[in-house]
Copies of this chain bind each other. A is one copy, B any other.
Amino acid sequence: MKISSRVEKSGLSPMRKFHPYAVAAEAKGRSIYHLNIGQPDIATPPAYFEAVRNFHQPVLAYAPSAGIPELISAVQKYYDALDIHYDESEILITSGGSEALQIVFNCILEDGDEIIIPEPFYPNYSTMINLCGAVIHGVPTCPEEGYHYANRAKIEACINEHTRAILCTNPGNPTGTVLTAEEMRMLVDVAKEHDLFLIGDEAYREFVYAGEPLQSFGSYADAGENIIVIDTVSKRFSACGARIGCLLTHNKDVLANAMKLCQGRLSVATLDQVAAAALYNVDGDYFSAVREEYKHRRDTVMRKLKEIPGVVCECPKGAFYIMAALPVDDADKFQRWLLEEFEDNGDTVMFAPGEPFYQTPGKGKNEVRIAYVLEQEKLERAMDLLALGIKAYNAR
């Protein structure tokens, strides 16, 4: 029986594909330091679990397809505090930011369409976009320039008759790149001038380390028809397992069609929505503490990377990832070797190999994404393991 060519085009996630090798390594007694996946070790605010424990309805019923009113209202208030207003009807609750992305792509992309995304990008975008029959048009960048992409000429060179949208992950995953207000304005102008959707995947909005104010493409009210914001509680509140995200836009056509897809899957998990609404009452101290902690971790990883000869990377300004070029022939082979053959006192380490973060064939082969989601001491050890691993791998 035939499998769809669209799904066959996609691969396994570079963050998750080594899971079976990790299981095998653990079975041999190895301890693995996981820097491969954006799973923070920061405690989820207790408000989540309290809300869950206080749920006392006898029937765990379907929620409304657009989301429960309490959560929609909590999201609305959060944006109002950033001076960005969305009506309740302009906010759709989704099963993580992932589902918000799937819904948007399905609403605006089909066979032959192109979407512009700066390289390197979050690899799951490819899986989702392949299913729509559309193609990613990558904006080329390089590690030597800190993966900077926000250049009008560079972006406009990617636009053609098939282009439907520009997608910016800001702050960037995997690069940690943070756009300036001027760069955001330029991107909005380009989208308006060329009649394109501008999708802002802003999962990491709170994770900026230079004291700058929180940003969103949602604040460019003059381009309300163009802009679609993707948001999630996953990173903001260290609640990745809640699978609660949302899609925000003023574009009525997108909303009307997105609602068909929301109704088509009935609803998002009820208890998680109730609990996510409670998260939005967490006070500002939580974020400053978390931000401090991540900044400290970033600095640790950068310091350790600089000590390894041949590594190329710039200090990222946001999110909790560093993309770096390593002095190895093939990061994918290197990762497999780290799990199958390497150990130091029984320990090894995992990253996400870089190639699947690129659309352009051959790019990213010696790059890795490092997620600095472990506490200080573990992070130092993990980076030492990377240094030792590179040395041993190249000395084989």
- A residues sitting closer than 8 Å to B (CB atoms) are 1-8, 10-13, 15-17, 19, 37, 39-44, 48-49, 52-53, 55, 58-65, 95-96, 98-99, 102, 106-111, 113, 124, 127-128, 131-133, 164, 195-197, 225-226, 238-243, 251, 253-254, 257, 259-261, 263-272
Contact = CB atoms under 8 A, between A and B. Distances in A.
Given A2-B164, A108-B2, A264-B13, A60 B269 contact: no
A197 B3 CA distance: 10
Contact of A110 (B4, B62, B238): B4
19 contacts: A3-B257, A4-B106, A4-B109, A7-B257, A10-B264, A16-B65, A17-B263, A19-B64, A37-B62, A39-B61, A42-B59, A49-B55, A52-B271, A60-B238, A102-B265, A124-B265, A131-B132, A133-B133, A242-B270
Given A96-B266, A242-B269, 18 more contacts: A2-B108, A4-B109, A4-B110, A4-B257, A13-B260, A17-B263, A39-B62, A52-B52, A52-B55, A52-B271, A95-B95, A95-B265, A124-B265, A127-B263, A128-B264, A131-B132, A131-B261, A241-B267
Contact of A263 (B13, B42, B95, B109): B13
Nearest to A124: B264
A241 B242 CA distance: 14
User: Among the interface residues A13, A64, A65, which one has the most CB atoms of the partner chain B within 10 A?
Assistant: A13
Contact of A269 (B4, B102, B241): B241
A60 B240 contact: yes
Given A11-B260, A61-B39, A6 B108 contact: no
Copies in the complex: 2
Contact of A43 (B44, B58, B225, B268): B58
A268 B113 CA distance: 29
A88 to B, nearest CB: 12
Contacts of A10: 260-261, 264
B225 A107 contact: no
User: Among the interface residues A55, A268, A271, which one has the most CB atoms of the partner chain B within 10 A?
Assistant: A271
Nearest to A53: B53
Nearest to A127: B264
Contact of A243 (B37, B52, B267): B267
B265 A98 contact: yes
A90 B95 CA distance: 24
B107 A3 contact: yes
Given A60-B241, A107-B4, A109-B4, A95 B42 contact: no
A48 B60 contact: yes
B4 A264 contact: no
User: Among the interface residues A44, A61, A238, which one has the most CB atoms of the partner chain B within 10 A?
Assistant: A61
A62 B242 CA distance: 8
User: Among the interface residues A102, A241, A260, which one has the most CB atoms of the partner chain B within 10 A?
Assistant: A241
Given A111-B111, A265-B98, A226 B1 contact: yes
A190 to B, nearest CB: 14
A272 B96 CA distance: 14
Contacts of A264: 10, 13, 98, 124, 127-128
B43 A260 contact: no
Nearest to A23: B64
B108 A1 contact: yes
